[in-house]
Amino acid sequence: MCCHLGEHAGAQVEASLLRSLADGQFVPVELVECDDRRMAELVLKYADLPLGGSDAAVIAVAERLRVTTVATIDNRGFHTVQPRHVPYFTLLPH
């Protein structure tokens, strides 16, 4: 199982993502208290996946910000989890 982008997609793709972050193409979002609570709910509800804290954080923030598209290299949990605000997430890459 891959644990980071470089292992899954290679150094070029990982470097491209990091350049995109540096160029402001993505805006980092901080977790807030309601995200922490939702993350705990998700980890317990989907313990059989298992859904880890990182994926739970992405889901909690996406719900709070009403984001419907999620980029991920490990989409197992994202296919299973039912977000609060949409029937399912659109996952990238396809």
C-alpha to C-alpha distances, 56 to 5, 8, 16, 17, 32, nearest whole angstrom: 18, 20, 25, 21, 13
Whether 38 and 82 map to the same domain: the answer is yes
Question: Which structural domain range is residue 62 located in?
Answer: 31-92
What pLDDT is attached to residue 2? 47
What pLDDT is attached to residue 57? 95
Whether 83 and 47 map to the same domain: the answer is yes
Whether 52 and 76 map to the same domain: the answer is yes
Tokens of 9: 């997609």
Whether 37 and 69 map to the same domain: the answer is yes
Whether 25 and 38 map to the same domain: the answer is no
d(CA 67, CA 14): 23
- In the chain, the number of structural domains is 2
pTM: 0.80
Tokens of 34: 């309601």
Whether 22 and 46 map to the same domain: the answer is no
19-76 confidence digits (pLDDT tens): 988 998 888 899 999 999 999 999 999 999 878 899 999 999 999 999 999 888 777 7
Q: Which distant-in-sequence residues (6+ apart) come within 8 Å of 3 by Cβ?
A: none
Q: Label residue 8 by pLDDT band (50, 70, 90).
A: low
d(CA 6, CA 62): 24
Q: Which distant-in-sequence residues (6+ apart) come within 8 Å of 76 by Cβ?
A: 49
